[in-house]
Structures are given as structure tokens and as C-alpha cells.
């Protein structure tokens, strides 16, 4: 993309957790650039389509290649879950833990660990 075709950054407050220290602060700061790029410069449909395709490959392919396809989905969901964790209620936290558990078990079955 040419520099003049870039979308503007969203208005509003910073997405950092107030008072964050240590690992959380480091992850949030290192995630700022990729997250900003992902959600402002990449077409909105691309990320969900790629994740769904990788997940479908993980379901369809029953050998280790299926497990490899699920790994980026686990990483992306885990990254977003970690970043959103402080603002979630108990239901949101349980849903994210359940989703990550399911994805890890899916990958483990594809790698033959279960």
C-alpha cells in the first residue's frame, strides 16, 4: 500500500491496562504495533477468513499437518485472550479457557499425543 492510502488510527484512549507492570506491560507494548497494523491496514475480512480456513484444515486433516494448521489459531486466540483478560467477567474468562482447551486438545490429537 502506498503511504497515502493507509487508514487513520482509531480515535480514543490507549488500549493498555492501567497500572500494568512486568510481563503484561511488555506484551501490551510489543503487541501495539502488530495489533494496530492488523486491525487498521489489513482488510477486515482477511484475518477471520485465514483463521477459519486454518481451523477447517485442522479439523479435516487428521495427521500432524492438521495440528500445525491449528497452532496459529491457538496463538492468535491466546494472544487476544491474554490482552483482554483484565476487562473480562467470569463468563468471558471461562469461555476463553474453554476455547483454548478445545484448540489445544484438537492440536494434540492431530500430533498423536492423545
Evaluate whether 111 touches 64 at the Cβ level (below 8 Å): yes
pTM of the model: 0.76
List Cβ neighbours of 64 (8 Å cut-off, separation of 6 or more): 110, 111, 112
Identify the domain containing residue 58 by its residue range.
Answer: 21-111
What pLDDT tens digit does each residue of the chain (114 aa) get? 455 566 665 565 555 666 677 887 788 778 877 777 777 888 989 989 999 999 999 999 999 999 999 999 999 999 889 888 888 899 999 999 999 999 999 999 999 987
In a domain, 5, yes or no: no
Answer whether residue 63 is part of any domain.
Answer: yes
- Structural domain tally of the chain? 1
Does residue 90 belong to any structural domain of this protein?
yes
The answer to whether position 9 is within a domain reads no
Q: Is residue 69 part of a domain?
A: yes
Residues 36-51: tens digit of each pLDDT = 777 788 898 998 999 9
Kindly report the three-state secondary structure assignment for every residue of the chain: CCHHHCCCCCCCCCCCCCCCCHHHHHHHHHHHHHHHHHHHCCCCCHHHHHHHHHHHHHHHCCCHHHHHHHHHHHHHHHHHHHHHHHHCCHHHHHHHHHHHHHHHHHHHHHHCCC
Using alpha carbons only, give the angle 105, 106, 111 rounded to the nearest 5 degrees: 95
Judge whether 43 lies within some domain.
yes
Establish if 31 belongs to a structural domain. Answer: yes
Amino acid at each position: 500500500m502506498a503511504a497515502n492510502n493507509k487508514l487513520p488510527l482509531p480515535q480514543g484512549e490507549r488500549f493498555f491496562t492501567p497500572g500494568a507492570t512486568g510481563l503484561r506491560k511488555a506484551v501490551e507494548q510489543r503487541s501495539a504495533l502488530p495489533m494496530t497494523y492488523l486491525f487498521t491496514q489489513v482488510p477486515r475480512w482477511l484475518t477471520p477468513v485465514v483463521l477459519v480456513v486454518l481451523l477447517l484444515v485442522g479439523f479435516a486433516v487428521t495427521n500432524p499437518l492438521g495440528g500445525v494448521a491449528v497452532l496459529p489459531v491457538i496463538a492468535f486466540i491466546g494472544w487476544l485472550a491474554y490482552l483482554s483478560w483484565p476487562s473480562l467477567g467470569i463468563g468471558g474468562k471461562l469461555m476463553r479457557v474453554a476455547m483454548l482447551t478445545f484448540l489445544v486438545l484438537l492440536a494434540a490429537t492431530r500430533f498423536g499425543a492423545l
